[in-house]
Structure formats: C-alpha cells, structure tokens
Amino acid sequence: MSDPHRKYEIRCPVHGFIPIDDWEREIINHRVFQRLRRIRQLAWTDQVYPGAMHTRFEHSLGVMHVASQLYDAIVRTSQEVLRAEKTYTEGGFERDRRLVRLAALLHDIGHTPFSHGGEDLFPMTPGGQGRFRHENYSAAIIRTQLREVIEGHPLNQNVGLRADNIAALLEGSTGAGRALFWRELIDGQMDADRIDYLLRDSLHAGVDYGRFDWKRLVNSVEVVPRPDGRGPGLGVNEGGYHAAEGLVLARYFMFTQVYFHKTRMAFDHHLHEALKLILPRGCFPPPEGRELEEFLKWDDWRILGALANGGGGDHGRRLIERDHFREVYHTPEVPSRDDLTKLDRVRGALAGLVQAEQKAESSWYKVGAPDIPVRSDNPDRSVRPLSSFSGMLGHLRPSEMVMLYCRKEDAPRARQMVESINGGKQ
C-alpha cells in the first residue's frame, strides 16, 4: 500500500501544477475516472478548431483545483459569517473542503461519449417526467463503483465522508445538509466548472475569448446577505466586479464563437443521429444496477470504432467524410417577434429542404440572465446585481438564435429561396 500522506502533482496546461494527495490519486486512478481520458470535452469541435482535442479528464482535475481556491477564498473572507450562520468549526471547514474537492473532481464522471453531444439520448426517468441527466449518472457511479475508494481510504478517518454526501451535493438534494451551500461552487453563476471550461476550452481551441482575470475573481468572492431574511449567499466585493463581468462576457463570446458555431452544431446533429443508430434501443442504458456498468463501457473510442466499421448510417458517413449539413439561414442572436415571424416564413418556404434546426436556447452552453450579487465598497455596504454596476451586462439578453441547415448539395438553392423572401434582408 502506498504512503497515505504522500503528496503528488499533475501538470495542467491551464493551472500549472495541480496538487493532489494519495486519497485523490486513488480515485483518479480508478477505471471509471480513467474513462474520462476517452471522452473529449468539446465533442467534434476540432472539425472547426483543430486544437480542441482535450478531454473531461483534464477538465475534472482543473475544476477540483479551482473549486479549492474558491472555497479557501470564501472561508478566508467570510469565516465569521459561516461560523455564525451555519455553525462551522475548524473541523467542519476541513471536512467540507474535502467534500467540495471530491464533488468537483467527480462532477463529470457520468458523461456520455463526446460529452454533451449524447445527452439527449439518456433514457426517460421512471416517473416519465423527463430524461436522466449526466448528474444522475455521476451520483449513481459515486454511490456504487466509487464507494469503496472514497470511503475506505485511511485519510477518510479524519473527516468521515460518505459517498452519499458527494452524490447528494452533486444532485442537489437534502442529503447534502448544510454543505448544500457549497453547491454554488459546482453549479452556480461563478462556479469552478464554468471558470475552468472557459479557460481550458479557450486555450485548446486557440481563441482568446474565454480568458478573464479568474484569479482576481477568486480573490473577490465572499458571502453576502440575501434580502428579506433569506440567509447568506455568494457574491463578489466591488473590487472584483470587473473580473465577474469578464467571466460573463467570456461566456457570451465563447458561446457565439465556439460552442454555438454553426459548423460545430452541424457535427453535433450528425453525432446525435449516428448515436441513435449505434446505441442499442437508440439510447444509453439507465443509471441503475447492471445497466450502469453497461453505460460505463460507452466512450469515444467505442463510438469511433463503430463509425469506422460503418455504423451510424448516413450521419455516421457524414461525420467520417466531413460531409456535414450547411447552415442556410439564422436569426439574430436575440430575435424580435418580427424575426420569429420571418423564421416561420423561411421555414415554410424551404419546407423539405431543411434537414436540421439548432436553437441556442436548447444548447447546454447557453448564456442565461447574469445575476451575480456585488457588495458595494461604500459605507452602506449595499448589495446590488452585477448588471446594475455594468452598463454592458445590463443589456445582455439570453441568446435565442435559431439556425436552419440543408444538405450541402441543396444549400445554394435554399439560400436563393431565402434571398427571395423580403429581398433577402434580415
């Protein structure tokens, strides 16, 4: 057995060295975590940005690193509030730091091949209310395959973490108890996931749109009061509001330039359709019992093998031959009612030529309404939304762009038809 107190470091292209300990190393070395080496972070984005070949493996390490920095900064600036409002002690802080690190490390453990590209093919939940989400798979994997390596490490005797604690924090359930407060670091407006993926995707894609002063942001995060007796929440101090503004803008730019790029979205469509043919019964196995083990066998390599062997039908062929659908019409980013009426006309005119439609509002990376609380440096210490400090963000609206696609050979005719509607002007 290795020395449980030994420390390790992993090289990261974004953060330099990421320190880990023996407990985390054992989890990272587990086969279900190693599977993340075979899941590309941005699916087929390399067809547009050839450098975007990075994986969920390095992103997960990065999220753990950033989450720790956010956690430490908040405890540093807001320790007294947390002690008073949530009865934290030194031991409590130490335990929840562990919890946050492991939840961050494992937040993507349930991803499908090619990350979000396959999420629409999760099966329906037993209640039929909707589809499972990758968080459900992550929680199930943590409670089963990873339980022993999480609960059985000698270092855990110091904090007594259960696999259920980590799963509950990721799922967003009452089982997380007071630690639910830290869910904002995994799934919130300024979470570690978002901070890392913007920086990392930007670096690998070779674009600068995702860069912002994240270290300043980390140093500005603090606990702020929520109004009207609603308890504490997370925000930034006024000194950090430009860094927070930078995060929101980075997200907006990355969405428009990378995540919702018209060609990338065409490849997402082909992948989705090819997966439907490759997967037994057209969807992934549910996150339950033996089926979960079957799910874990699916990774990019297996899908690429299936495609190389002629799987995936016409869409599989299009992926391999780069014969992707072409965008022939798109609305503005924030369409007015007139724009939507015109979209209906274009859709009707093109009729059978339209092969696919991609909507920004359905995209996993969509940019929502920004609302980060900022505490003023003025004597009243008032708390206001970031959008009231920033003139730019006050006008930012969620992207609702819709794009219509045709086959390559139909694209010239489709574009001519679009041009003939209202003289072709949007």
Partner 1 sequence: MTQQEQRWFRLDLLCALIDQAPVRLGRTAVMKLAYLLQTVQGVPLGYDFRLHTYGPFDSDVLNDLGTAESLGAVKSEMVTFASGPGYGYEFTIAPNRDFIRQKAEGQLSAYEQAVRWALAEFGSQRAAELELLTTIIYADREAAQRKAPLSVEELASKVGEVKPHFPKQYVVEKIEELSRKRLLIALAPTQQA
Rounded-to-integer distance, Cα 217 and Cα 250, Å: 13
The least distance separating partner 1 from the CB of residue 333, rounded to whole angstroms, comes to: 10
C-beta closer to partner 1: residue 48 or 356:
356
The least distance separating partner 1 from the CB of residue 153, rounded to whole angstroms, comes to: 26
C-beta closer to partner 1: residue 97 or 415:
97
The two tokens of residue 295 are 């799910």
C-beta closer to partner 1: residue 189 or 220:
189
Cβ neighbours, 10 Å, residue 178: 13
The least distance separating partner 1 from the CB of residue 25, rounded to whole angstroms, comes to: 30
What backbone torsions phi and psi does residue 78 show, to the nearest 5 degrees? -130, 25
C-beta closer to partner 1: residue 345 or 397:
397
Rounded-to-integer distance, Cα 118 and Cα 306, Å: 15
Q: Which residue has the tokens 């989890």?
A: 27
The least distance separating partner 1 from the CB of residue 380, rounded to whole angstroms, comes to: 7
C-beta closer to partner 1: residue 53 or 369:
369
Length of the chain equals 426
- Pick the closest to residue 187 from 406, 310, 368, 3 (CA basis): 368
Q: How far apart are the first and last CA of the chain?
A: 67
Over the range 336-360, which residues count as b (16 or more CB within 10 Å of their CB) and which as e?
eeeeeebbeebeeebeebbbbebeb
The least distance separating partner 1 from the CB of residue 227, rounded to whole angstroms, comes to: 3
C-beta closer to partner 1: residue 4 or 188:
188
C-beta closer to partner 1: residue 334 or 411:
334
The least distance separating partner 1 from the CB of residue 425, rounded to whole angstroms, comes to: 21
The least distance separating partner 1 from the CB of residue 180, rounded to whole angstroms, comes to: 5
What backbone torsions phi and psi does residue 224 show, to the nearest 5 degrees? -120, 150
The two tokens of residue 280 are 């037994």
The SS3 call for residue 33 is: helix
Rounded-to-integer distance, Cα 382 and Cα 390, Å: 16
The least distance separating partner 1 from the CB of residue 82, rounded to whole angstroms, comes to: 11
C-beta closer to partner 1: residue 16 or 127:
127
Residue 384's DSSP bridge partners are 374
C-beta closer to partner 1: residue 5 or 337:
337
In one letter, which amino acid is 280?
P
CA dihedral 71→74→79→84, nearest 10 degrees, is -90
Q: Where are the alpha helices (DSSP H) in 22-180?
A: 22-29, 31-34, 56-86, 90-106, 134-143, 147-151, 163-171
The least distance separating partner 1 from the CB of residue 87, rounded to whole angstroms, comes to: 7
| Interface ranges with partner 1 (CB under 8 A) | 85-87, 130, 133, 135, 171-178, 180-181, 183-184, 187-188, 224-231, 233, 334, 336-337, 340, 361-362, 366, 368-369, 371, 373, 375, 380-385, 388, 397-398, 400
- Pick the closest to residue 283 from 139, 137, 118 (CA basis): 118
